[in-house]
Each structure stands twice: as C-alpha cells, then as structure tokens.
C-alpha cells in the first residue's frame, strides 16, 4: 500500500488508487480511522464514529469490488448528525434525541450508501443546526484544526473540521443560512449549498424547511461536483424536490473568459475584516487574470435579509420542533405528574438555550396578533431579496463575495452575544432566502487562518458555479494543510463547553 496523507488526499485521487488496485477500501478506511485516533481527542468532530461499519463495509467493498464498482465505492465519508441513518443513532446534537434510533435513512445518505461509500461516522453540529460555531451542540465543542483555540464555524462544524483535519475524505452537511459555506470557509475547505430543492430533504431533521438544503464539504471543487452528482435528483418523498435541468458535470475549466462577475457593494460594507478583504480583492484580480470581468452591482435589500431570516427561520423551527414532545420521539422526562408536566419538562430539559430562544421567537412571530406584522412582513422582504438577485443576474453570470466577514474566532468569544454570532452569516443568508446555489472555496490565509470566497449563481446554475470555482481554485493554488496549533484559549471556554459529554464513540 502506498503511504497516504489524509491531509492531502482528494476523492478524485483516492478513487483512482482504488480502481487501479493500488489501495484497498479497507486500507483506505484505516487511513481515516488512524487519523481519527490521532487527532479526534483534540478536534472532536464526530459525535459517533462508526468503526464497525467502516471496517465491515470497506471489507465487503473489497470482497465484492467487481460487483460494487460504483463511482463512489469504497470512498470514506462523514455525515452530519442531523441526517437520519437507519440503525445508527442520530442525535441532532440535542439531548432530546440523544438515544434516537431512526427507522429509515435520509434520501441523500441512502443515495451515497447505494453507491457504496464507507460511512465513518456522524459529525457534530450546533443543536438542530442552529448556530455558527458548533458551540451549541449539547455534547461537545468541535475545534478548528487550523487553530484548536478557535471554532470550526457552524452549524456543520463537525463535518468541516473532520474533512479539514483529514478525519474524513469528504462529508455531507446542511445549510439553512450558511451552515455549509461558513464552516467550509473557516476550515479552509470547499462547501456548496445547492439550489433549493436540488437535493432531497427527506430524512434531514427539519430546522427551517423553506431554507434547509443538504450539500457537500470536500477538499476540492472536483470532489464537490463528484459528490453533488450523487445526491441530487427528484425524490417523491420530498414535495419540494426537483430534478436539475442538466446533470452535474465534473469541472475542468481553467479559464473564465467572458464571465461577468458581480461584486455587491452592500456585502463589502458589512464589516469585513481587513485580512479577509485583502484575500477577496486578490481573488478578484485572479478572476480578471483568467479572463473574467468584475463589475460592481447593487443588492439593495441586503441589510434586511438577516432580520427577515431571524423571523422566518425561527417561525419554521418553532413549528418543526413541536413534534419533540416526549410522546413520539426521543427523550421523555422522568416521572411526569400529568401530560402538561411531561410536555413542559421534556422540552425544558431536552432543548438547549439557543433552540429555546428560536422556539420562543418563532412562536411569538406566528401568534395571531403578530403574524402579519412579523412573519408576513418577513416573507415580503424575502421576495425583495430574491428580486434583487434576479435583477442582478440580468447583467452578470455570477456574484462574488467573501463567505464570512471574519476568519475563525476564539471558542467562547461570541457565545454570550447572539447578535455577533448571527452576523457571521451576513453574506450567506440572503442566498438561502432566495433559494440559490452558492459555493465557498478557500482563497488564502489571514493571520494563519483560512479565508473563504463565495460564488453565487442563479437557480440551477450549479455547473457554471463549479466550473468557475474550479478555474479559480487552480489559479489560487491553496494547499489545505492545517497545523493543529493551539494559540491558547483567551475567551471563557468553560462557559462555552457547557454541554454534557456523551459517551458515544463506539
Ligand atoms: N447560523 C445560522 C443560524 O443559526 C445558519 C444555520 C444553518 O445554516 N443551519 O440559523
């Protein structure tokens, strides 16, 4: 077996090694399980590592390699723990689902399982995907492998950290307001939110159903396209799912000739750190070098996107989370005196503080006297945000922005201030409100920490985005190799890590 560095290996290369017989699926799985053993105590990306599954399944792929020769056969993957997996406990990083054993598998996960990927485990997230740092997990805080004192972003922080730390070849995450792109940016990897409806939400534990979308977190744009190819498609179990008008193509572009890229002035006014701005400007220069043309555009309703999101997402969450009542799923409080007591204490003890905050905001915004003033109005703002994009795309092919205003921040530094946490998603949230596809690719470092570059396209322009991102990735030449340094915790990490430890590593 060739010696493989999990910090450099891409799915594209791993696949070739498997097909050429230079490595077996079992050996490949072991590369990742060994890396998990080496760094997981520091990174804590996984809620559950499925050692047995990885060992058994990779052996089966080897044994039946001829029969199982799917394009993804034997490639190890990590799955965010808000996608249900039959036979593997799915917690959503919540006490309320701590022991929940799903009886079915999410469509997107089923699709990659059917292609014989090897599941390594279920990754950590902010409870019910509510957050931007993975510190809202009820169980553990994940750390950024570029600097263990900092957060990996969120809510798919476990998936992003696992890929960045070489603990997974690639991963699935979910993005409601930025939860794939923001952690991808902070961890120096690629993350893509597809067009709303392109990937089935069946079996994705619902946060805000009109915004949620599953997508890939990978080490390269090519890998991103390869994984996306296998999770898209119409699913009759999800009424909002829709087939892409053309198949996802594996990108090969090296130039951007004739591509018009819009730069929204409003996104650059949003308190972008100087180091992030510098990498962004350099990347725009690359766009021009590759034959693209950058033009300033306006998305005038940008400033209303975040407030509208924080009405719509909690409103939908409050309705979606009503099902966790101690009767049907998961946790039930001990010795309830009557039904009401059971509801109240089950939910009181089962949900963490951020989830409760969202349920309260959402319930209030949907209540009879306030519905029009809040929810109805937020929906109108959503239409205005969507129209901004439609107008812009009459003149440009893609829109570019920094993915996040800052690089990874110290664990504990924003937990006491929800607004500063919400601001992390200022450049990503409008995209979800409009249902558009967008990618984040690494574009360099600031203070030794990765910076993300976001490309947004019109609905169903996945191939255009992937081609442009691939060409840019080549020109940027970023080597995603985190150092696992620890700059020391300056913030109050004890307060952040309030979750109860969960003994689930099998
Ligand atoms: N950080 C945003 C929130 O807390 C987005 C989360 C997500 O995309 N799941 O709602």
Beta carbons within 10 angstroms of residue 488's beta carbon: 9
pLDDT digits (tens, 9 = 90+) for 389-405: 999 999 999 999 999 99
Q: What is the pLDDT of residue 73?
A: 94
**Whether residue 60 lies in the annotated active site:** no
Cα→Cα distances 293→263, 286, 296, 467, 468, Å? 10, 10, 10, 16, 12
pLDDT, mean of residues 103-122: 97
Q: What is the pLDDT of residue 489?
A: 56
CATH 3.90.1300.10 is right for the domain spanning 11-298+388-476: yes
Q: What is the pLDDT of residue 2?
A: 54
**Whether residue 122 lies in the annotated active site:** no
**Whether residue 58 lies in the annotated active site:** no
Structure tokens at 291: 């034959």
Q: What is the pLDDT of residue 270?
A: 67
The closest alpha carbon to 125, from 105, 144, 153, belongs to: 153
Contact of 84 with 102, CB cutoff 8 Å: yes
β 398-402/46-49 pair status: unpaired
| Ligand 1 center from residue 261 Cα (angstroms) | 26
Q: What is the pLDDT of residue 481?
A: 85
Instruction: Decide if pLDDT at 224 tops 80.
Output: yes
Beta carbons within 10 angstroms of residue 229's beta carbon: 20
β 190-193/293-297 pair status: unpaired
pLDDT digits (tens, 9 = 90+) for 252-272: 999 999 999 999 999 998 689
pLDDT digits (tens, 9 = 90+) for 292-348: 999 999 999 999 999 999 999 999 999 999 999 999 889 999 999 999 999 999 999
The domain ranges of the chain are 11-298+388-476, 302-379
**Mean of the per-residue pLDDT values of the chain:** 94
Instruction: Decide if pLDDT at 196 tops 80.
Output: yes
Q: What is the pLDDT of residue 249?
A: 98
Q: Which of 153, 172, 179 to mutate to test the pocket of ligand 1 (most atoms within 8 A of CB)?
A: 179
CA distance 32 to 121: 11
Is 495 or 233 the better-scoring residue by pLDDT? 233
Structure tokens at 150: 């900092």
Question: Which candidate in 179, 200, 241, 318 is catalytic?
Answer: 179
């Amino acid at each position: 077996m060739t010696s493989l560095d999990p910090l450099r290996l891409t799915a594209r290369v791993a696949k070739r090694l498997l097909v050429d017989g230079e490595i077996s699926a079992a050996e490949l799985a072991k590369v990742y399980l060994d890396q998990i053993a080496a760094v997981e105590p520091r990174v804590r990306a996984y809620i559950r590592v499925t050692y047995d599954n990885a060992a058994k399944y990779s052996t089966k792929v080897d044994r039946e390699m001829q029969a199982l020769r799917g394009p993804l056969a034997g490639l190890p993957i990590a799955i965010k723990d808000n996608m249900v997996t039959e036979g593997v406990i799915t917690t959503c990083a919540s006490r309320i689902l701590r022991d929940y054993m799903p009886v079915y598998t999410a469509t997107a996960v089923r699709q990659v399982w059917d292609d014989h990927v090897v599941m390594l485990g279920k990754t950590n997230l902010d409870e019910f995907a509510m957050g931007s740092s993975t510190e809202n997990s009820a169980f553990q805080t994940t750390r950024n492998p570029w600097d263990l004192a900092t957060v990996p972003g969120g809510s798919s922080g476990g998936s992003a950290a696992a890929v960045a730390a070489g603990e997974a070849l690639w991963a699935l995450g979910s993005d409601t307001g930025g939860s794939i792109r923001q952690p991808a940016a902070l961890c120096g990897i690629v993350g893509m939110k597809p067009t709303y409806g392109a990937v089935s939400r069946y079996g994705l534990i619902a946060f805000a159903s009109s915004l949620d979308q599953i997508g890939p977190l990978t080490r390269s744009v090519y890998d991103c396209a390869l994984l996306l190819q296998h999770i898209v498609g119409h699913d009759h179990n999800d009424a909002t799912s829709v087939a892409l008008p053309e198949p996802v193509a594996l990108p090969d572009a090296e130039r951007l000739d004739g591509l018009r890229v819009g730069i929204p002035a409003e996104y650059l006014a949003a308190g972008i750190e100087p180091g992030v701005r510098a990498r962004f400007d350099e990347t725009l220069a690359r766009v021009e070098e590759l034959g693209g043309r950058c033009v300033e555009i306006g998305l005038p309703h940008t400033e209303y996107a975040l407030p509208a999101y924080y009405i719509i997402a909690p409103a939908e969450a409050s309705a979606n989370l009503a099902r966790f009542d101690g009767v049907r799923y998961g946790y039930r409080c001990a010795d309830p005196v009557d039904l009401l007591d059971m509801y109240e204490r089950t939910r009181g003890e089962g949900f963490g503080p951020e989830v409760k905050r969202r349920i309260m905001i959402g319930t209030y915004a949907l209540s009879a006297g306030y519905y029009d003033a809040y929810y109805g109005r937020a929906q109108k703002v959503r239409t205005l945000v969507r129209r901004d994009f439609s107008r812009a795309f009459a003149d440009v092919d893609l829109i570019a922005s920094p993915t996040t205003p800052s690089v990874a921040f110290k664990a504990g530094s924003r937990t006491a201030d929800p607004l500063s946490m919400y601001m992390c998603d200022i450049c990503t949230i409008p995209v979800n409100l409009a249902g558009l596809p967008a990618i984040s690719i690494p574009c360099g470092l600031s203070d030794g920490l990765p910076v993300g570059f976001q490309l947004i396209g019109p609905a169903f322009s996945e191939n255009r985005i992937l081609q442009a991102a691939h060409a840019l990735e080549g020109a940027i030449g970023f080597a995603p190799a985190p150092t696992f340094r620890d700059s020391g915790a300056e913030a109050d990490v004890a307060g952040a890590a309030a979750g109860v430890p969960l003994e689930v590593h099998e």
